[in-house]
Amino acid sequence: MSFRVAIAIDANGANLAHFGRASRFVVYEFSSGSAALLDTRTAEIFCQQLDKQQRLENVSDLLADCSAVVAAAIGPCARQELREANVQTLEFNGCVEDAVRTISQYSHLN
């Protein structure tokens, strides 16, 4: 069984970013211990906008086809919005490569 995970990335694309400050997400598909990069998605940075709730809903919609979102940090409002969209949230510090490797190790359990 495969599943998709969106990873919030920083400006250089190498490290995980705070969910609310991420303008890009890389989407991977995990299956049987392997990972494949599917897409890079651009989002408005909702933490810097006046209408944060609308921006949060837009990002949630952008990632709705993913089973989980991984970010360096995810605030309570974002966590709730994603939970309501049936998207799990995970916090992970470090580089994207390490996050993908860690998720891959457990993907065979899904």
pLDDT of residue 108: 54
pLDDT of residue 45: 61
Which residues constitute the domain of residue 56?
2-107
CATH number for the domain harbouring residue 95? 3.30.420.130
Non-local (6+) Cβ contacts of 14 within 8 A are: 95, 96, 97
In this structure, are strands 88-91 and 68-71 parallel, antiparallel, or unpaired?
A: parallel
pLDDT of residue 107: 65
pLDDT of residue 110: 47
| Segments of the chain scoring below 50 in pLDDT | 109-110
Q: Where are the beta strands (DSSP E) in 1-110?
A: 2-9, 24-31, 34-42, 68-71, 88-91
Looking up tokens 């494949």 gives 36
Number of domains the chain contains: 1
pTM over 0.85: yes
Count Cβ neighbours within 10 Å for each residue of 30-63 and write b for 16 or more, e otherwise.
beeeebeeeeebebeebeeeeeeeebbeebbebb
pLDDT tens per residue across span 2-23? 999 999 999 899 999 999 889 8
